[in-house]
Amino acid sequence: MISLGQLKEIKDLREVWPHEALDFTPWLAEEKNLALLADAVGLEITVDETESKVGDFNVDIYAIETGTERRIIIENQLEDTNHDHLGKLITYASGKGADIVIWIVKRAREEHRAAIEWLNNHTDENISFFLIEIKLYKIGNSDPAVKFEIIEKPNDWTKEVKKQSTNAPAQQFRLEYWTAFNEYAFTKAAFAKNFKKRKPGTDHWMTLSLGSSAYHLDILTLKNRNAVSVELYISDDKAIFQQLFQHKDEIEAEIGFALDWRELPDKKASRILIEKPVNLDDHDEWHSQFDWIIDTCIKFKKAFKKFI
């Protein structure tokens, strides 16, 4: 007979992290631990600074969403929610111009859960609030295991409906295209293994993270010339572009086709891309377009990561 242990919750979080600023925040800022939070909220998060100044105060963690550069603040509270921290959260969000606000607590009181729900329902589609309880468990004498439990999150469906009601036809097309792409691409094991799903939007591009804030992949729909494109976008580092350019022949040989190398010396960003003519208005052609995008993205990641 299989012997099973009993799962036990550690009620006092301070048994593991005695001090929020000195123990919990540094622990959460570590890449492997932040990945647990990132998976829970469905974002890719890169820490920019801990104990980041906001006037006379400090926000626990200031971060960005990898690939999109959306600004994230994370406020930690190893106790029940209170009005003081809710007020700080709003102050920090304003001071940092945050796009995403994450409040991590021991226990969310009902009035504060309702407040975060209200903020999500009454702010525009460009800002999102998460209220998360942190739980600790162990089995017997095992090491503690952490779980981030989402209590409140953005009502994406409501916000998307709000966006659609005012969107121009071009924006509606993009939302439909990216929604269809997600539904198709992430059924392909090779693609799902290499990339994390992004929320469909109304921009003409979709960004895929390569694990660094310095560069990422963009998929673009180019309606003005009926084409799709995949590109490596290097935000602000000409040295990375030059490093890759030194291996141009090797990279193109592995990918299987010539690329358009655009250093753009007068601009911060550099781009390396391939474009494919398609008929974006032909929905019956979309799956073949998606197949090309999927194959190209995987080839880009494999080839470029060897030299970065």
Per-residue pLDDT, 7? 87
In the predicted model, is pLDDT for residue 1 greater than 80? no
- Which of these ranges, 8-12, 163-167, 281-285, has the smallest mean pLDDT? 163-167
Structure confidence at residue 158 (pLDDT):
47
Instruction: Give the residue, 104 or 4, on which the prediction is more confident.
Output: 104
User: Most distant CA pair in the chain: distance in Å?
Assistant: 70
Dump pLDDT digits (tens) for 257-281: 999 999 988 788 899 999 999 999 9
Q: Which structure tokens are listed for 61?
A: 């963690």
For residue 173, the Cα-to-chain-centroid distance in whole angstroms is 23
Beta-bridged to residue 93, according to DSSP, are none
Does position 157 have pLDDT exceeding 50, yes or no? Answer: no
How much is the pLDDT for 236?
84
Q: Which secondary-structure segment (H or E) carries 285?
A: none
142: left (phi over 0), alpha (psi -120 to 50) or beta: beta
Tokens of 135: 């739980």
Structure confidence at residue 163 (pLDDT): 53
Residue 161 has pLDDT above 50, yes or no: no
Statement: the pTM of the whole predicted model exceeds 0.85: no
Structure-model confidence comparison of residues 161 and 32, the more confident one: 32
Pick the CATH number of 7-159 from 1.10.579.10, 3.30.428.10, 3.40.1350.10, 1.20.120.530: 3.40.1350.10
Question: How far apart, in whole angstroms, are the C-alpha atoms of residue 91 and residue 34?
Answer: 23
Closest CA to 48 of 6, 121, 97: 97
Alpha carbon distance 24, 213 (integer Å): 24
220 sits in which H/E element: strand 215-222
Q: Tell me the per-residue pLDDT of 35-75, one tens digit each, with 9 for 90 and over.
A: 899 888 888 788 888 998 888 889 999 998 866 678 999 99
Looking only at the bridges linking them, the beta strands covering 227-234 and 270-277 are: antiparallel
Edge to edge, the sheet with strand 215-222 lists 205-209, 215-222, 227-234, 270-277, 260-262
Instruction: Assess whether pLDDT exceeds 70 at residue 31.
Output: yes
Structural domain spans, the chain:
7-159, 167-305
Judge contact between 199 and 251, C-beta under 8 A. no
Residue 180 in tokens: 């269809």
Please give the DSSP secondary-structure letter assigned to residue 14.
Answer: G
38 and 44 in contact (C-beta within 8 Å)?
A: yes
Higher pLDDT, 198 or 218: 218
CATH architecture of 167-305: 2-Layer Sandwich (3.30)
The percentage of the chain sitting over the pLDDT mark of 70, rounded to a whole number, equals 95
pLDDT digits (tens, 9 = 90+) for 8-18: 999 999 999 99
In the DSSP assignment, the letter for residue 15 is G
At residue 156 the predicted structure's pLDDT band, cuts being 50, 70 and 90, is low
Q: Beta strands 128-139 and 100-107: pairing type?
A: parallel
pLDDT of residue 118: 94
Report the amino acid identity of residue 97.
G
Q: What's the rounded Cα separation, in Å, for the pair 92 and 58?
A: 8
Count other C-beta atoms under 10 Å from residue 150's C-beta. 13
What is the enclosing helix (H) or strand (E) of 296?
helix 286-305
Q: How many helices (H) and strands (E) does the chain have?
A: 10, 12
Of 274 and 160, which is predicted with more confidence? 274
Q: How far apart are CA 289 and CA 292, in angstroms?
A: 5
* Whether the predicted pLDDT of 242 surpasses 90: yes
Two structure tokens written together for 143: 């090491």
Residue position matching structure tokens 């924006």: 171
Q: Please name the amino acid found at residue 72.
A: I
Q: What is the pLDDT of residue 162?
A: 52
Tokens representing 238? 């000409």
Instruction: Tell me the pLDDT of the chain averaged across its residues.
Output: 89
Of 47, 94, 101, residue with least CA distance to 73: 101
Q: Is the pLDDT of residue 167 over 90?
A: no
**Per-residue pLDDT at 160 exceeds 70:** no
271 or 170: which leads in pLDDT: 271
Q: Compute the average pLDDT of residues 240-264.
A: 95
